[in-house]
A and B are shown apart, each in its own frame.
Chain A
C-alpha cells in the first residue's frame, strides 16, 4: 500500500468537504477534484514545479461523481499518481469510475439515507421533541454517513488503487441502501401514525396504524402493485375512520 503522510491525508479530507465549491457545467466537480488532490500532488512533486503544474492541470479537467464518494476516486488517483501510472490510463480510469460512484451514491444517499434521516427528524418533532433535538438528530445521522463515506473512500482508494473496483463490490452498498429504505418506510409509517390527532389520546391505536402503513410501504418496495394496494387500503381505512367519528 502507498502511504501518504498523515498531514497529507488530513488536508485531502478537509479539502474534499469543498469538492463542490466550484461546481460548474463545464468541468462539474473537476476543479474541486484537483483542489482535493493538490496536497498529494505537492507531496509527490515537492521539488518539481513544472511537473506539479502539469499534474494539477490534468486533474482540473471534467470529473463528476457523488460528492461523498468522490474520495474513492481521489484516493485511487493519488495512489496511481504515486505509482507514476501513464496519465492516459488515469484519464480512462477516472472516466470509468466516475459514473459508478455517481449512481452508487445517488441510490444510497439521495434515494435512501437522506429521506430516512429527514423522516427521523420529523418523527421526533411529532412525538414532541424540542426542535433542536429533531434538527440535531437529522444532522447527526445524515452526516455520519457523509463523513463515514469520505474517510472510507480515501482509505479504500489509496489501498486498492487500480483494483478499487473489487473493494467497492465487496462493500455492502446494496444491503445498506435496502436497509436504509426499509428503516425509512418504518419511519414514514410512524410519522403518519403520529401526525393524526388521535395519536395523543390513543397511542396504541396510533402504533398499530403506523405499523400497518410501514408494512404497506415496505411491501410496496418489492412490488409496485402491492404499493398501490397498500395506499388504497390506507385511504379507505382513513375515510371509514373519519366517517365513524
Chain B
C-alpha cells in the first residue's frame, strides 16, 4: 500500500503538507482530488508552485480518483492524496474505495455554519454527517495537523461540537 497520507485540508498543497508531512512520509506524488480544480488549469498552475522538485503533482475529479485509488494503493510511488472538503471525501469513500485507510483532517477553517472543534478544525452539521458516513465505509477518521501532534479520534471531534 503506498497511499502514505490521505488528508482533508482546505489549503491543499502548502507548507504543512510539503515540509511537515513531506519530511515524515517521503512522498513522491501528490494527488489533489477536487472537481472544481481539476477543470481549472490556471488554478492548478498556482497550486503546483510550491511542490518540491522531487515530487510529482496530479489532479483528479472525485470520479477519476475512484478509478485511480486501487492503483495508488499498489503504486510503487509514495502517494499523498489531498481533498479540501468532507463532502468530496464522502463521495470518494462511498462503495468502500478507501476501506482500511486512515484519513487525516488537517485543516478546515472557520466559515458560516461551522463550529470550532480544534484550533485548525471547524465542522458543520453536514461535515459531521459526511465524516460519520466515511467512518462507516471502513475508514479511520482522525484529526491531526502535523506528524508530531497526537491524532484526535472522530468520536472526540463529534462530541466536541455539542
**Residues on A close to B: CB < 8 A?**
25-28, 62, 64, 66, 92-93, 95-107, 110-111, 162, 165, 168-169, 174
Contacts and interface: CB of A to CB of B under 8 A. Distances in A.
Contact of B109 (A62, A110, A165): A62
Contacts of B110: 25-27, 62
B50 A102 contact: yes
B159 interface: no
Nearest to A106: B15
B14 A100 contact: yes
A107 B48 CA distance: 15
A162 B42 contact: yes
B94 to A, nearest CB: 26
A110 B45 CA distance: 24
* A-B interface, 10 closest residue pairs, ranked by CB to CB distance from nearest: A99-B14, A103-B50, A100-B50, A100-B49, A96-B46, A106-B15, A102-B15, A26-B110, A103-B18, A96-B43
B143 to A, nearest CB: 14
A100 B47 contact: yes
A98 B52 contact: no
29 contacts: A25-B116, A25-B119, A25-B120, A62-B109, A62-B110, A64-B11, A96-B37, A96-B43, A97-B46, A97-B49, A99-B13, A99-B14, A99-B17, A100-B14, A100-B47, A100-B48, A101-B50, A102-B14, A103-B15, A103-B51, A104-B50, A106-B15, A107-B19, A107-B52, A165-B45, A165-B49, A168-B49, A169-B49, A174-B53
Contact residues on B (Cβ < 8 Å of other chain), bracket? 20 to 34
B134 interface: no
A100 B45 CA distance: 10
Contacts of B51: 103
B92 interface: no
B111 to A, nearest CB: 8
A220 B47 CA distance: 29
The A interface, classified by DSSP as helix, strand, loop or mixed, is: helix
Contacts of A174: 53
A99 B119 CA distance: 18
A95 B40 CA distance: 13
B12 interface: yes
Given A27-B110, A101-B50, A169-B49, A92 B43 contact: yes
Contacts of A105: 15
A99 B47 contact: yes
A9 B116 CA distance: 37
B40 to A, nearest CB: 8
Interface string B8-48: 00111111011100000000000000000100101101111
Given A92-B43, A98-B14, A104 B49 contact: yes
A95 B14 CA distance: 11
Contacts of A111: 19
Contacts of B116: 25
